[in-house]
Amino acid sequence: MVNTGKSRNSFLYLIIIIAIGAILVSVLRGQAPRNEDISLTELADLINQDRVESIAQSEQNLTVTLRDGDIVTSHAVRGSLAADQLITLGADPEKFQVGKPGAVNFSAESPPEWGTWLSLLSYMIPALFVVGLIYFMLRQAQRSKNRDE
């Protein structure tokens, strides 16, 4: 016969470890260094001032590396290329031509594959924790009811 007290305690310890892990992940995620966020108009001005070395686009997010080594971020509008948007906002079109001196290196990156799954898990783990807690409480109530009879 399985010792229910021992299995119950191990289940409780497992829940506590998962909760501590979730708290640590959320705290460490919040401590990641944040880049300065600028508008597309400001980015177009930086391009015209020849301060931009490269732009990496992942979906609508732009990661901009400046010539002084700083990294800033910006966001393009969905549905059109970021380079087209920047040219519309006043950036010099010659800055986007490959091979020209002083041209901006523009690259498009594919979005991370695990991003969707990680965001889904960040919502599912707390929900599963709550469901497990309710299940545990209901089993405890049922056991105490059976003992009273």
Per-residue pLDDT of the chain (149 residues; tens, 9 = 90+): 456 666 777 887 888 888 888 888 877 776 556 678 898 899 999 989 989 999 988 888 899 999 898 889 998 888 777 888 888 888 888 888 877 777 888 887 776 677 777 778 888 888 888 888 888 888 888 887 777 66
> Domain span at residue 100?
36-109
> How many structural domains are present in the chain?
2
Q: Where are the beta strands (DSSP E) in the chain?
A: 36-37, 52-58, 61-66, 71-75, 105-109
Between CA 121 and CA 127, with CA 122 as vertex, the angle to 5 degrees is 85
Q: What is the CATH number of the domain that holds 53?
A: 3.30.720.210
Q: Is residue 10 part of a domain?
A: no
Are 52 and 97 members of one domain?
Answer: yes
Report yes or no: 67 and 53 within 8 Å, Cβ to Cβ: yes
For the entire predicted model, the pTM comes to: 0.54
Count CB atoms within 10 A of the CB of residue 47: 23
Distances (CA, A) of 95 to 30, 52, 60, 64, 91: 35, 10, 20, 14, 8
* Same domain as 97, residue 146: no
Residues 45 and 78 in one domain: yes
